[in-house]
Amino acid sequence: MSKIGKQPVSIPEGVTVEVSGTTVSVSGPKGTLSRKFSREVAIEVKDGNVNVSVTSKSKTARAIWGTTRSIISGMVEGVSKGWKKELELVGTGYRAEVQGSSLVLTVGYSHPIKIEAPEGITLNVEKSVITVIGADKEMVGQIAANIRAVRSPEPYKGKGIKYLDEVVRRKAGKAAKTVGAPTG
């Protein structure tokens, strides 16, 4: 019995959820999302809630039960409130700017890096903070991960692109290692 899977997903006001076969469509003020799920889970809308249940007792059905419920919950929250990831540029001369629907990063390479925003994703830059906003949780997270991968933070000086709430563990450099070493 899945503790997460058996919990109903409440539908907020202004959001509609339609189930046709194995496809779930969720629409709200922030957009419309649609996703196809496995036949091993049954999805029904009843009394302002979305209920997910298992059609068979197989191991794979029980494994995807909670995952399906979590994905639907993320879709409902995405079209009602939206999802947001914030990244921070750390480093002298590191810059980011939005040109149309793409983000241009100047982060120490010989050339600027250009990242295109797919449909449904908005990119904003204020000072050294990059904000990725959208209704699809998976896409927002993937675009944020792609931006971070351009120049991930290094442990010696902490330079790079990091999530705003990420803590970069710092290492001591060469000078600190040689303090106790014998000379000779």
pLDDT of residue 138: 95
Q: Is the entire prediction scored with pTM above 0.75?
A: yes
**Exposed, middle or buried: residue 78 (CB in 10 Å: 0-12, 13-18, 19+)?**
buried
Half-sphere exposure of 37 (CA within 13 A, CB side): 30
Q: What is the mean pLDDT of the chain?
A: 91
Report whether pLDDT(114) > 80: yes
pLDDT digits (tens, 9 = 90+) for 142-158: 999 999 999 999 999 98
Dihedral (CA of 106, 142, 166, 77) sign: positive
Rounded Cα distance between 63 and 69, Å, is 11
Please state the φ and ψ torsions of residue 64, each to the nearest 5 degrees.
-95, 0
Rounded Cα distance between 110 and 108, Å, is 7
pLDDT digits (tens, 9 = 90+) for 41-94: 999 999 999 999 999 889 999 899 999 999 999 999 999 999 999 999 999 999
Give the chain's domains with CATH numbers: 9-80 (3.90.930.12), 83-163 (3.90.930.12)
The size of the chain, in residues, is 184
What are the Cα distances from residue 169, in Å, to 58, 157, 158, 177?
A: 43, 10, 8, 17
Kindly state the helix (H) or strand (E) to which residue 78 belongs, with its residue range.
helix 59-80
Q: CB–CB of 166/152 below 8 Å?
A: no
CA 13-21-137 angle, to 5 degrees, is 50
Interval 100-113 mean pLDDT: 94
- Token match 């014998």: residue? 182
